[in-house]
Structure 1
Amino acid sequence: MTDHDRPAAFFNPYAVSIDAEVAIALLADLQIRRAIDRGDFDDLPGSGKPLDLSDSHDPDWWLKRLMKREGFTMLPPSIQLRNEDATLDARLDRLSSERDVRREIEEFNVRVVRARYELTAGPPLVTMPRDVDQTARSWAERRARRAAEARERQRLDDIERGKSRGRRWKRRR
């Protein structure tokens, strides 16, 4: 069925109301489609590569830079506590006294208990509070083991240095 075969009432172009913005958008779309058909966009420089979108176009660029610089995270409390639990032993190993270790564990437990009482969005909280005494004992054992390893490395280094000194001494004679 061609346009001439259709009755006049089938499509009335005057029945459609188009404002200026829609008309400009339709004209722009038409011009883009024609350019694509002609191949004007083929083999442009940077074709197939990701766009380099700098922060200047993002209205929240300053906030994102601040969060990245300060190490802020925007995780749900359950995931944040799970990450803290996974890295707690490493944080404790950097502390030098048992009193500081116990205080850090107690602060962690307070955050866990507080999160259990809060109604939060996100995945469920599966992190449990730590046993302060058991965790402090584990910290002390790890610390003693690291100290013993350090003493052993020092002893081996001293032996190695002694051998090298002895060799030089013998050469000088």
Structure 2
Amino acid sequence: MTERKPPGVGFETWIDRQIREATERGEFDDLPGAGKPLPGEGKPHDEMWWIKQKMLEENLSFPLPGTLALRKEAEESVAEAMGARTEAEARRIVGDMNDRIRESYGKALSGPPLLQPLIDVEEVVTGWRALHPAEERPAPVPEPPRERRSLLRFFQRRKHD
């Protein structure tokens, strides 16, 4: 590719000719990845794809700043809750994460300023129910009648006193 574009020849024509001649010489034969789909095809464009690819190839990682790590943990807990076996387990996972988020409100975390909102438990449970049809869910344990619940709490408190 040391030759220069001749005057009076359009760029497209000149480039097309070079590609055609290189193809005829077999310079594109047996290239790595020939006949395989392009990596990342069908995924949204990411300007940092090459950095992420290099980090994967080199097995590199770096710790996220505290605020970003909290956001990532929140996203992962929602995914974990969606895969929970029971609705109660999904609620517990989200509840535990919301507790960690509340604890972070009083701390100075490293990273960009970011106030992680609490996860909407009912929204996650609605999504969980959509993924787990009623016939697949275990039967919920019925709650005792209201009067009995208050008596149970009364005796449980007395037991701990």
Compute the TM-score of the two structures, normalised by the length of structure 2: 0.40
Q: Which has the larger radius of gyration?
A: 1
Compute the TM-score of the two structures, normalised by the length of structure 1: 0.38
